[in-house]
Amino acid sequence: MLQNNLPEKVSQKEKTALTVSEKELLENAAFVQQILDTSPAMVIVIDILFNKLVYINKTSENLLGYTVGEAASLKREEMVHPNDMQNWLRFYKEVAQLTDGAVSEHEYRVKTKKGNYIWVSNKSTVFKRDESGAAWLILSISTDITAKKFAERKLSESDVFIETLVDANIDRLMAYDLNMDVVAWNKRCEEVYGIKKEEIIGKPFFNFFPKIKETEVLINALKRSMNGETVHIPIHPNIYTKEYSELFYTPLRDANDNVTGVLTIIHDLTERIESENELMELNNSLQVKNKELETLNEELSTFAFVASHDLGEPLRKIQIFSDRILKTEKDSLSAAGKDNFHRVLKAVTRMNNLLNDVLSFSRLSSTKDFKKKHSLNEVLDLVKQELADAIAETDAILESDYLPVLKCTKSHMTLLFQNFISNALKYQKKGNKPVIKIKYEIFGAAEIDHQLVIQATHHRISFYDNGIGFEIEYAEKIFQMFQRLHAMSEYPGTGIGLAICKKVMETHKGFITVESTLGVGSVFHCYFPDED
Ligand code: ADP
């Protein structure tokens, strides 16, 4: 029968009848019994010949939940976790072979009466042998290590989690201890260097990467990091690959804040550098193109200026001589001849206007007196005087808001006002009395839907007319050089006026928008960025 006390209980009467040595013996046995009962360890004696438990102490009873009687009839194999069975069987085979005094250790899971498993750390030794000397009784002492195992498992779960994170990183992550033995090596490192984790972990880093030892910047960073500093190297040519990287060295610390190693993160900059280089190249070629365009523009302006200026002289001569012939040869000329001369004079006037407009346009880009403050009211007064005849002829009404003082080129502003007002006077139905309104408003950037909005505030000068208007689909076309929507015979012009206005606004970093309704009128809005 399974016992819970080593010797059978001895009565007081029997005790007195014992000899002193027997008494001592019994006292010793009782002492051992006390130790066993108060021990935090589970003490069990197993008869391995009959494969049953012959003794369990109180702690075993408490931890496993079986009473002494129940434990006696337990099948030992049923108490072991299936996953630990193989090792457990091997362990007991090993224990049976132990020499006297030798101890074997093993960890496994034991089933409690409640059905759950507890982890035990077990030390076993042969306690008694049979006549043949074979192991018979095994003394097995176990401690409950469930909490420790749980903590370990928790740790290993978080290890897996950390490893997953480290491996998923697109940067190269490696860590070494203070001896420079590798302790971490992520998948990206494996890919880049072709060295597997199993090959490098626990080995000296410099055995694999000896050139790093000779690279002062990197060695310095490592040393500083081992001294507790976090070091960032913003850009460094890779030593073992062709590209560039930025490197981060972070000290690894234990629970007491002592540095135990260094984590290195290598972030590949190749793509960034390549796109930066591409951008730089693009920028350079843009600058070259810009320069070329500027030169071309200057050449064109000079050409336009020279051409229009030099053409003026022969034109004037044609005009003078045609005039003279018309006067002096008046009587000898036929009616058709006179008519032809009048046509020549008309064409000369048109040509003259054209040359003047081209000249004005070509002068726009070469003007240097930009950025002085001018009152646009003064500009308007000037233009009104210049257009006084046309205004009087058409009986036009011209109303204007009080206009601002802006940083601008006065000659440009004069051209702008001239062109908008003269167009407003010109593009009218015959007999219609032109009503021209010039309005001024200030707009915030958010209120303007235009890609060229560059400042928070814009001054808007608008030219409203009640003229013939045009189809809004031509809104862009009319700002191109020599583009006209109306017949020359009805509405004479050069097709340069609005191109001049556009250029004026560009030189002032502004822009023009237009609204028009056929037969109702048009409005041209000029937006000037506030430069104060
Ligand atoms: P033009 O010397 O022919 O007036 P512009 O460049 O000033 O040249 O104008 C280009 C064309 O835009 C004009 O030919 C005309 O068809 C149209 N246009 C310009 N301003 C107005 C306006 N206020 N009303 C209607 N059409 C206009």
The answer to whether the CB of 408 falls within 8 A of the CB of 459 is no
Q: Give residue 426 CA to ligand 1 midpoint distance, Å.
A: 9
Lowest mean pLDDT among 185-194, 267-276, 475-484: 267-276
424 lines ligand 1 (CB under 6 A): yes
465 lines ligand 1 (CB under 6 A): yes
472 lines ligand 1 (CB under 6 A): no
Q: What is the 3-state secondary structure (H, E, C) of 91-154?
A: HHHHHHCCCCCCCEEEEEEEECCCCCEEEEEEEEEEEEECCCCCEEEEEEEEEECHHHHHHHHH
467 lines ligand 1 (CB under 6 A): yes
466 lines ligand 1 (CB under 6 A): no
Q: What is the largest CA-CA distance in the chain?
A: 181
Paired sense of beta strands 244-253 and 259-268, if any: antiparallel
Lowest mean pLDDT among 319-323, 373-377, 396-400: 319-323
Q: Mean pLDDT across the stretch 349-369?
A: 76
Paired sense of beta strands 117-129 and 259-268, if any: unpaired
**Residue of 421, 426, 470 best suited for mutating to test ligand 1, as the one with most atoms within 8 Å of CB:** 470
39-144 shares its CATH topology with 280-363:
no
The yes-or-no verdict on residue 524 having pLDDT over 60 is yes
Going 267 to 269 to 271 to 272, the CA torsion angle's sign is positive
Task: Please report the pLDDT score of residue 10 as a whole number.
Answer: 45
**Residue of 387, 422, 423, 505 best suited for mutating to test ligand 1, as the one with most atoms within 8 Å of CB:** 423
The whole-chain average pLDDT of the chain stands at: 86
Angle (CA) 269-273-275 rounded to 5° is: 120
Task: Please report the pLDDT score of residue 154 as a whole number.
Answer: 65
What three-state secondary structure class fits 63? helix
Going 357 to 524 to 420 to 406, the CA torsion angle's sign is negative
CATH for the 171-268 domain, from 3.30.450.20, 3.40.50.300, 2.40.30.60, 3.40.50.1460:
3.30.450.20
Give the number of other Cβ atoms within 10 Å of residue 184's Cβ: 20
**Residue of 427, 488, 496, 504 best suited for mutating to test ligand 1, as the one with most atoms within 8 Å of CB:** 427
Paired sense of beta strands 435-444 and 397-400, if any: parallel
- Measured from the Cα of 495, ligand 1's closest atom is 8
Alpha helices in 17-101 (DSSP H): 20-38, 58-64, 68-72, 85-96
Task: Please report the pLDDT score of residue 371 as a whole number.
Answer: 67
Single-letter amino acid code for the residue at 424:
A
Buried b (16+ CB within 10 A) or exposed e, 336-353: eeeeebeebeeebeebbe
Going 437 to 442 to 447 to 452, the CA torsion angle's sign is positive
486 lines ligand 1 (CB under 6 A): yes
Q: Give residue 440 CA to ligand 1 midpoint distance, Å.
A: 22
456 lines ligand 1 (CB under 6 A): no
* 67-84 residue pLDDT tens: 888 888 888 888 888 888
**Residue of 498, 518, 523 best suited for mutating to test ligand 1, as the one with most atoms within 8 Å of CB:** 498
469 lines ligand 1 (CB under 6 A): yes
The answer to whether the CB of 403 falls within 8 A of the CB of 438 is yes
Q: At 510, phi and psi to the nearest 5?
A: -115, -165
Domain ranges for the chain, please list them: 1-32, 39-144, 171-268, 280-363, 367-529
Helix (H) or strand (E) holding 205, with range, is helix 205-208
Residue that wins the pLDDT comparison between 348 and 403: 403
Query: Which residue minimizes the CA distance to atom 13 of ligand 1?
Result: 484
Burial environment of residue 70 by CB neighbours within 10 A (0 to 12, 13 to 18, 19 or more): middle
Fold annotation for 367-529:
Heat Shock Protein 90 (3.30.565)
Q: What is the CATH number of domain 280-363?
A: 1.10.287
Predicted confidence band of residue 199 (pLDDT cuts 50, 70, 90): confident
419 lines ligand 1 (CB under 6 A): yes
Fold annotation for 39-144:
Beta-Lactamase (3.30.450)
492 lines ligand 1 (CB under 6 A): no
Two tokens, residue 303: 């050409």
The yes-or-no verdict on residue 113 having pLDDT over 50 is yes
Q: Give residue 492 CA to ligand 1 midpoint distance, Å.
A: 10
81 lines ligand 1 (CB under 6 A): no
484 lines ligand 1 (CB under 6 A): yes
Alpha helices in 329-463 (DSSP H): 335-364, 376-386, 388-394, 410-426
Single-letter amino acid code for the residue at 69:
G
Helix (H) or strand (E) holding 261, with range, is strand 259-268
Q: Give residue 398 CA to ligand 1 midpoint distance, Å.
A: 19
The answer to whether the CB of 531 falls within 8 A of the CB of 409 is no
Going 44 to 47 to 52 to 54, the CA torsion angle's sign is negative
501 lines ligand 1 (CB under 6 A): no
522 lines ligand 1 (CB under 6 A): yes
Task: Please report the pLDDT score of residue 16 as a whole number.
Answer: 53
470 lines ligand 1 (CB under 6 A): yes
- State the Cα–Cα distance between residues 292 and 284, nearest whole angstrom: 12
* 288-298 residue pLDDT tens: 999 988 888 77
